[in-house]
Amino acid sequence: MVEGGLPGGMHPDVEKAFELWDIDSLYPPQRDSMEPIANGENLVVAVPTAAGKSLIAYVAILNQVFRGGKALYVVPLKALASEKFHELRELSKLGVRVALSYGDYDDDDKRLESYDVVVATSEKADSLLRHRSKWLMNLKVIVSDEVHLLNDTGRGPTLEVILTRFKQLNPDAQLICLSATIGNSDEIAGWLDARLISSDFRPVDLKEGVLEGNCITYADMSRSEIASVTGNTLTDGIIDGIKDGTGQVLVFVNTRRSCESSAEQMARILPEHLSDHDLRDLNDISHKVGRSDVKIIKKLKRSIMGGTAFHHAGLSNEQRSLVERGFKDKSIKVLFATPTLAAGINLPARRVIVRDWTRFETWNPRSPIPILEIKQMFGRAGRPRYDPHGEALILARKPEEQDVLMERYVWGKPEEVLSKLGSRPALRTHLLSSFATNYVRDLDEMWEFIRSTFYAFQNDTWKIASDVEDILVFLKSEEFIRDEGGKVVSTDLGKRVARLYIDPLSAVVLRNALNAEPKKLTTFSILHAISHTTDIKPLFVRGKDHDHVSEFMYSHEDELLLPIPEDQTEYEWYLNSVKTAMFLMEWIGENSEGIEASEDRIETLFNLGPGDIRSKIDTAVWMLYAMRELSRLFGKGMAKTVDLVSMRVEKGIKKELIPLISLKGIGRVRARRLYDAGLTDLDIMRRASLKKLSAVEGIGKQIALQVQNELRSDGEPIEEDEDEPEEDNGPKQSLLFDFA
């Protein structure tokens, strides 16, 4: 029983969840939220990190699900979606069915109709709205996590549009919006017609301050000295943070390179401060990273052996999960991370140190990071149930910086969240979507929709009127929409592009490529076309690469589907797309080596880690799918060719490996080894002996048995030896269920 009980309007079965969670008391902002939840009110909850926002959302979900309703939980990041899914899946013990959905934007995902709670990214939620998934109309509660990301130029417009759509389509659904402490949470609440729950409460006190020399100056101007062990302020601050054997330190730096180099440097110093038991645990974690010649993986293994690690998007999902698990288990004592971690998963530490408070921007190489982002980093300090308090420190590199940092970041208030929907790329994408999905059918309805947005709540719509008019002209001239008897009607092209979830400008690029008649159509032709779209973040051509990329481009000029531009600015961007296509060519083995590039080679040539590679491959496969669909729409007859390229990019293989890659457990590396061993097709493999298959490097007896059973036509499986050891598939995903 929760202390004080739950409001009378709350469904009685919600109490069972508190028993499941072993919670008998609520934090103040949680208590303040219970009655509005029971009454079905919209809520904006603006409280610090670790103040229990997730529990508020979960109670609202359960209150509606137990009444027969459905819930949608919207998050900004895939990693956060996975975390929330694993937390909510615990509710299956109460009969609640939970699904996770992200990616595959050209699918209405009908399976979701049978679930009570759906966890999705903002982009997936927008895609479901574009597909007019009927179950969305049955939603009784919609949770928007990290709603302050309305301020983000990339994700903000999509989040704003889906909240605006839900307000219009399903006005009776309860909105629960969770936010960090921001300067204008009341404004967001006003826009959403919601009650604001605002609080400074934290279950673990947070002491903010500036670290300079060997002194910490806190917000109340009290001071604390740290021992000078190495003479380096950051290193000494880290050692001081773990000195009692139970503390951990999270350090935010502004670049990946700094993450890696700092972790390696700290790993050379830290072992003398660790116990033998710690070192044994770290050795086990390092071993689980696996063997690899990729430089970034070697760095990670060395760092972990020394009690540190780094965390950034260059790591694969599996590697990041391993690091996160090691840090949560307190084996890894120090974690260096880029700022993206601050807005992501729940990964607290006793002490947080922000080393870098500036970052590179085009207009200012040392642009100060916004207060809101620094406060997000600060909020990771203090582990509920473990620490009496958390310490969040920002590093002053010289004495004169101390006062500036105290004024700006320790005493300063987070900035206001401002809508980013007014940008042309966002307007272009979401206006087409509005017409293509019949959410708006004429200009009056279009302006009514715009007036319902957070942008209009903060601004006069006339400020973007000229941009809207220009975009309408663009959409009409490129035949995405047309006027028809006073209505604005989407063409087949407009509808298809909206459902493909790509920028209309990307569709124009792909259409131009499909309409081109190159002297020679090759794999490079197709890969360059998709690499020139606005949806793919290109690889930038550095000075040292300029001549090499230019030479490659002109040597393949006959294959280009898009003309080389004369304008210098456009030319430089075009070179970026050529370099991106060169990376994809390396990945599938269309290179001077004549073989699929290893991750080590790609890291050397393009400075991409495993996580970067996977991200770019996923985007490239999606754009190839879009190109295939547009080829069908225009009747260009290139669908099969594009499909073949897509399969090769997805698997990272030359054409000759396609038959082998169809086998379960055979990826690009094993397929190449089989092929080089003379096992070049399925018939040869079917006739091969178990001994020959097993002898191929990386195959072994268990995989060989699996392959032979898959290839047998008589249906009689080959028996595995009883003493055959099970294959070690590496670390399993741990379950995170922490309301902190």
Which CATH number does the domain housing residue 705 bear? 1.10.150
CB 98 within 8 A of CB 119: yes
Query: Measured in whole angstroms, how far is the alpha carbon of residue 314 from the centre of its chain?
Result: 12
What pLDDT score does 728 carry? 41
CA 55 to CA 167: how far, in whole Å? 23
CB 603 within 8 A of CB 295: yes
Longest Cα–Cα distance in the chain:
80
The pLDDT of residue 122 is above 60: yes
Instruction: Say if residue 194 is in the same domain as residue 212.
Output: no
Six token digits for residue 165: 């759509």
Nearest CA among 400, 656, 633, 620 for reference residue 529: 620
Residue 3 belongs to a domain: no
Percent of the chain surpassing pLDDT 70: 95
Q: Three-state SS for 576?
A: helix
Phi, psi of 662 (to 5 degrees): -75, -15
Instruction: Say if residue 151 is in the same domain as residue 241.
Output: no
Residue 294 belongs to a domain: yes
Phi, psi of 215 (to 5 degrees): -135, 135
Residue 41 belongs to a domain: yes
Instruction: Say if residue 193 is in the same domain as residue 211.
Output: no
Residue 457 belongs to a domain: yes
Of the pLDDT bands very low, low, confident and very high (cuts 50, 70, 90), residue 718 is low
| Burial class of residue 101 in the structure, from the number of CB atoms within 10 Å of its CB (0-12 exposed, 13-18 middle, 19+ buried) | buried
The pLDDT of residue 134 is above 90: no
CA 302 to CA 226: how far, in whole Å? 27
What pLDDT score does 292 carry? 77
Instruction: Say if residue 90 is in the same domain as residue 174.
Output: yes
The pLDDT of residue 157 is above 80: yes
Question: Measured between alpha carbons, how far apart are the two ends of the chain, in Å?
Answer: 20
CB neighbours (10 Å) of residue 438? 12
Contacts of 1 (CB under 8 A, 6+ apart): 15, 18, 24
Instruction: Say if residue 151 is in the same domain as residue 272.
Output: no
The predicted model gives 76-92 an average pLDDT of 90
Q: Three-state SS for 106?
A: coil
Phi, psi of 223 (to 5 degrees): -130, 155
The residue with greater pLDDT, 224 or 316, is 224
The pLDDT of residue 739 is above 80: no
Boundary (domain end) residue, out of 484, 500, 516: 500
Residue 416 belongs to a domain: no
Six token digits for residue 144: 């928007």
User: Among 1-15, 391-405, 515-529, 645-659, whose mean pLDDT is lowest?
Assistant: 1-15
Percent of the chain surpassing pLDDT 90: 74
Mean of the per-residue pLDDT values of the chain? 90
Query: How long a stretch of residues is the chain?
Result: 740
Amino acid at the residue 634: F
Segment 278-292, tens digit of pLDDT: 999 999 999 999 877
CATH number at residue 281: 3.40.50.300
Instruction: Say if residue 488 is in the same domain as residue 522.
Output: no
CA 403 to CA 396: how far, in whole Å? 9
Of the pLDDT bands very low, low, confident and very high (cuts 50, 70, 90), residue 363 is confident
What pLDDT score does 245 carry? 79
H-only helix segments in 588-609: 599-606
User: Among 109-113, 395-399, 734-738, whose mean pLDDT is lowest?
Assistant: 734-738
Instruction: Say if residue 159 is in the same domain as residue 62.
Output: yes
Of the pLDDT bands very low, low, confident and very high (cuts 50, 70, 90), residue 716 is low
Of the pLDDT bands very low, low, confident and very high (cuts 50, 70, 90), residue 111 is confident
Identify the H or E element spanning 483. Answer: strand 481-484
Residue 417 belongs to a domain: no
Boundary (domain end) residue, out of 467, 482, 500: 500
What pLDDT score does 262 carry? 95
Of the pLDDT bands very low, low, confident and very high (cuts 50, 70, 90), residue 713 is low
What pLDDT score does 717 carry? 57
What pLDDT score does 589 carry? 95
Of the pLDDT bands very low, low, confident and very high (cuts 50, 70, 90), residue 137 is confident
Instruction: Say if residue 169 is in the same domain as residue 28.
Output: yes
Instruction: Say if residue 353 is in the same domain as residue 212.
Output: yes
How are the residues of the chain apportioned to helix, strand and coil, as percentages rounded to the nearest 5?
Answer: 50, 10, 35
Residue 330 belongs to a domain: yes
Q: Three-state SS for 637?
A: coil
Residue 169 belongs to a domain: yes
CB 300 within 8 A of CB 319: yes
The predicted model gives 512-519 an average pLDDT of 93
The residue with greater pLDDT, 184 or 737, is 184
CA 677 to CA 297: how far, in whole Å? 28
Please give the residue range of the domain that contains residue 69. 14-198
The pLDDT of residue 719 is above 60: no
Of the pLDDT bands very low, low, confident and very high (cuts 50, 70, 90), residue 1 is low
The pLDDT of residue 458 is above 80: yes
What pLDDT score does 725 carry? 42
Nearest CA among 71, 252, 51 for reference residue 170: 71
The pLDDT of residue 298 is above 60: yes
Instruction: Say if residue 358 is in the same domain as residue 492.
Output: no
What pLDDT score does 712 carry? 81
Instruction: Say if residue 29 is in the same domain as residue 81.
Output: yes
Q: Give the count of domains, the chain.
A: 5
What is the radius of gyration, based on Cα positions, of the chain? 27
Of the pLDDT bands very low, low, confident and very high (cuts 50, 70, 90), residue 8 is confident
CATH number at residue 454: 1.10.10.10
Six token digits for residue 221: 């101007």
Of the pLDDT bands very low, low, confident and very high (cuts 50, 70, 90), residue 342 is low
Six token digits for residue 642: 């594009």
The pLDDT of residue 520 is above 90: yes
Q: How far is CA 195 from CA 150, 456, 531, in A?
A: 18, 20, 45
Instruction: Say if residue 633 is in the same domain as residue 533.
Output: yes
Of the pLDDT bands very low, low, confident and very high (cuts 50, 70, 90), residue 722 is very low
Boundary (domain end) residue, out of 198, 231, 252: 198
Instruction: Answer left, alpha or beta for residue 665, where phi above 0 means left and psi between -120 and 50 means alpha.
Output: left
The pLDDT of residue 364 is above 70: yes
What pLDDT score does 109 carry? 74
What pLDDT score does 132 carry? 86
Q: Is the dihedral of CA 70, 71, 77, 80 positive or negative?
A: negative
